[in-house]
Amino acid sequence: MMADSSTQLTSAQKDELMDQVKQQIAIANAQELLTDMTKKCFSKCIVKPGSSIDNSEQHIFKVIEMANTKKNLCAVLYGIDDIRLEMYEIPEVGDTDVLLEMYCTGICGSDVHYWKHGRIGDFVLEKPMIIGHESSGTVIKTGRKVKHLQKGDRVAIEPGVPCRLCSFCTGGKYNLCPEMAFCATPPIDGNLCRYYIHDASFCFKIPDHVSLEEAACIEPLSVTVHAGKMGHITIGSKVLIMGCGPIGLCAVMTAKAMGASKVIVTDIQQKRLETASQLGADYCILVKTKGDPKEIAECVKKTLGDYPDVTLDCSGHQSTIQLGLLATKAGGHLIIIGMGQDKVELSITAGLVKEITISGIFRYCNDYQDALNIVAAGKIDLKRLITHKYKIEDTVAAFERAFTGEGDPIKILIYSKADVQL
């Protein structure tokens, strides 16, 4: 952590400040009674990669943060390779909102992409933005019109809030709303922070036996639940899943939970295939980066005894889309989930002559409660996806691991709640 260079403290000042802080901790409302000197020295404290302060100043900062429990520590993306920790004010609760004490947030590939590139398609980071959208928390205050939630309820947070008025919203496809306010999609702030305001209609109370960690992972699971519905996966379906990253692994568990009799997966990494097998995949095929899609399609058919009814492409690259066209059974469904390449060149005839239904999916729509119900029923164990845990103070290190892949992470969680023991 780094204090403003204009506020370096002498030893006498540090001792004096420490005495003041110790006295303040004994007072119930420590935040309001922090001295002007403390505020001046620490109100602009930020965290940058590689920055530091000496041990005595760091200790003072930690003591103040402990007393200052109602300050809102946030992970803010300023630009490429630039995430900082900053204190924000806690916003006021609107009539239909809830104020949440955030618990944890998962790192998504889109978060890493914004961090490394500053944009995804037409969504460009033009000003500092709080990162994060796979989150859970506890209600600590409700707006006056909120009836279905109360203080103390633990919730999974659906991160997108639509306008509710356009033809997509009124037609039941609110995920396509052009006015969607989606967490950590520029210019909308995300929720990797201590406290967060969200529309209560998109906060889903979780039962006592479901953990807040699982609740945070409902977000990626909702993507694959949406895909499963689009592909009409049902009892007895044979399903091909291409790509065994976090979404692909969620797809394996979702397909099984929806009744698929056989699930076959492909990936270029053996370790990911092993994980998929542990989570329920019946067959695994290790493919080469430049493998022939026709040969792989025949291998899929030979292994299953037939072509799959449904193919879920969790990669979105040219080779996997082509494989989907070749491998999917006539009259089946090819659902493209991954957004790996913006432009691809395909031999489309293979899909056309088989009357394959080809669909893209975008996030989810009326799927959060269904995903939560599947987890609550014990049909999917999301805890098996969680491989690494960090505190919000170590956000940069968490993002570095997500980017480099060191330690073979699947789902990395960052904990915002101050007193969590990892």
Tally of structural domains, the chain: 3
Do residues 212 and 240 share a domain? no
Do residues 354 and 339 share a domain? yes
Do residues 51 and 122 share a domain? no
Tell me if 422 is assigned to some domain: no
Q: What is the pLDDT of residue 17?
A: 59
- Intervals of the chain under pLDDT 70: 1-70
Do residues 114 and 162 share a domain? yes
Do residues 115 and 236 share a domain? no
Q: What is the pLDDT of residue 121?
A: 87
Do residues 102 and 8 share a domain? no
pTM (two decimals): 0.84
Q: What is the pLDDT of residue 372?
A: 98
Q: What is the pLDDT of residue 289?
A: 84
- In terms of C-beta density within 10 A (0-12 exposed, 13-18 middle, 19 or more buried), how is residue 166 classed? middle
Do residues 230 and 310 share a domain? yes
Do residues 269 and 293 share a domain? yes
- In terms of C-beta density within 10 A (0-12 exposed, 13-18 middle, 19 or more buried), how is residue 71 classed? buried
Q: What is the pLDDT of residue 58?
A: 47
Per the structure, the complete domain to which residue 13 belongs is given by: 1-69
Do residues 212 and 228 share a domain? no
